[in-house]
Structure 1
Amino acid sequence: MAVLLIAGSPTERSRSAALLDAVAQRLQFRGVQSEKLLIRDLSPQALILADFGHPTISQAVGRVAKADVVVVATPVYKAAYSGVLKVFLDLLPQTGLQGKTVLPLATGGSPNHMLALDYALRPVLQSLGAKHILPGIYATDAQVAVTESGAYEVSAEIGLRLDEAVDTLIRDVLPAAEVHTKRFAPVHFSQVRCSV
């Protein structure tokens, strides 16, 4: 299972990036590796000018294409997801998320912007052909607090919701055959014994 974590914050350290890190840790704990794509590291000029041929853009779009699962995290600005994320999503092909499971994450100053996930981000993800969009997780500034050392710490409540989301991702995306082969070795029919 290929998991791509997309950081849609224009700043290097942010609460939405902390949510992504928390998801990555939970995936790793369950034996699933993930990669992170920081949109802020892509060429700003190529993003704004929609330069599809620019190496950073074509590589980023290719990484999305290879992923089975995409986790998108964004801060909420002006009751919508970040402009940096918007510009990147606009560069994806119309079927850029086709067949993929997507987990949207967002952070904002207050609970008042919680609906930005459903009314702003979810329609764009659906228009890009996502197979399954999990219920989004929204965290306020108080739920992703800054510690004395300057790091971000996810609250227990948000941590539980992230646990559930990661469990759902793994359950929904891992093919049933893969789950069975991990538990039982295949048995050839000639080895089957039955008594009557």
Structure 2
Amino acid sequence: MIVTVVAGNPKPASRTLDAARHVAESLTGRAPDRVVDVVTLGPSLLGWGDETVKAAVETVSGSDLVVVASPTYKASYTGVLKCFLDQFAGATGLAGVTVVPLMLGAGPAHALAPELLLKPILVELGATAPTQGLYLNENTYADAGSYEKWLEQWRDIVVATASLSTHEQSSREQTLAVTA
């Protein structure tokens, strides 16, 4: 299973990235295979055809499980994440990818933001989001207890769904064809 973390924070190497890595590791028992810290793509996100942005999009769309994380800005996900998601092709850009929408915020007022704002755009791009989005307080996100209940409830479903992704099925089919 290919696991990727996408952090849409305007600050590089952010708490958002740290939280997303932590969630990915907690779900799978290992570090993510790939990390896309969106802000490092810079002004190239504002245009079309940049090879670095294209490679990042291919990295994400070629993954089985992606934790997509953003801080809560103006009660929603960030513009830098929106610019990145705009680079995906329509309703099929994330087809076959299982996603976990994750948002960090200062308090409980925006606890539904991952479910109401981030999850719908990911599903619109073709991703499978089999669970509720995860909202973490930016001051306590590193505490295991802040997301343990979510993990207990959803870990098995996320991992099972990601294991059935079309990317992994395709890989298995290719392996079977070679060994047959």
Pair 1:88 & 2:84 matched: yes
Unmatched 5+ stretches in structure 2? 169-180
Q: Report which of the two structures shows the higher radius of gyration computed on alpha carbons.
A: 1
- For the 8 Å contact 1:97–1:129, the answer to whether it is kept is yes
After superposition, the C-alpha distances for 1:90-132 in whole angstroms (9 at most, x for unaligned) are 1111111112211011000111011221222122112111133
- SS of the equivalent of 1:131 reads coil
- For the 8 Å contact 1:23–1:166, the answer to whether it is kept is no
* In structure 2, distance between residues paired with 1:39 and 1:66: 16
* In structure 1, distance between residues paired with 2:11 and 2:152: 25
Note closer, same or farther for the CA distance 1:11–1:93 as it changes in structure 2 (3 Å cut): same
Corresponding residue number in structure 1 for 2:22: 22
Which amino acid is 1:41 matched to? T
Which one of the candidate residues 74, 98, 108 is aligned to 1:111?
A: 108
- For the 8 Å contact 1:64–1:96, the answer to whether it is kept is no
Corresponding residue number in structure 1 for 2:51: 55
Which is strand-richer, 1 or 2? 1
Corresponding residue number in structure 1 for 2:8: 8
Pair 1:72 & 2:71 matched: no
- Output the aligned Cα RMSD: 2.2
- For the 8 Å contact 1:19–1:154, the answer to whether it is kept is no
- For the 8 Å contact 1:71–1:105, the answer to whether it is kept is yes
- For the 8 Å contact 1:3–1:69, the answer to whether it is kept is yes
Pair 1:37 & 2:36 matched: yes
Q: TM-score, normalised by structure 1?
A: 0.74
Corresponding residue number in structure 2 for 1:189: none
Note closer, same or farther for the CA distance 1:22–1:160 as it changes in structure 2 (3 Å cut): farther
Q: TM-score, normalised by structure 2?
A: 0.80
* In structure 1, distance between residues paired with 2:31 and 2:17: 19
Corresponding residue number in structure 1 for 2:172: none
Note closer, same or farther for the CA distance 1:68–1:155 as it changes in structure 2 (3 Å cut): closer
* In structure 1, distance between residues paired with 2:28 and 2:118: 26
Which amino acid is 2:121 matched to? V
- SS of the equivalent of 1:12 reads coil
Q: Percent same amino acid among aligned pairs?
A: 35
Unmatched 5+ stretches in structure 1? 145-152, 179-196
Which one of the candidate residues 134, 145, 150 is aligned to 1:161?
A: 150
Which is helix-richer, 1 or 2? 2
- SS of the equivalent of 1:36 reads strand
Note closer, same or farther for the CA distance 1:24–1:130 as it changes in structure 2 (3 Å cut): closer
Deviation of 1:26 (Å): 2.2
Pair 1:134 & 2:141 matched: no
* In structure 2, distance between residues paired with 1:19 and 1:167: 19
* In structure 2, distance between residues paired with 1:58 and 1:65: 10
Which amino acid is 2:150 matched to? R
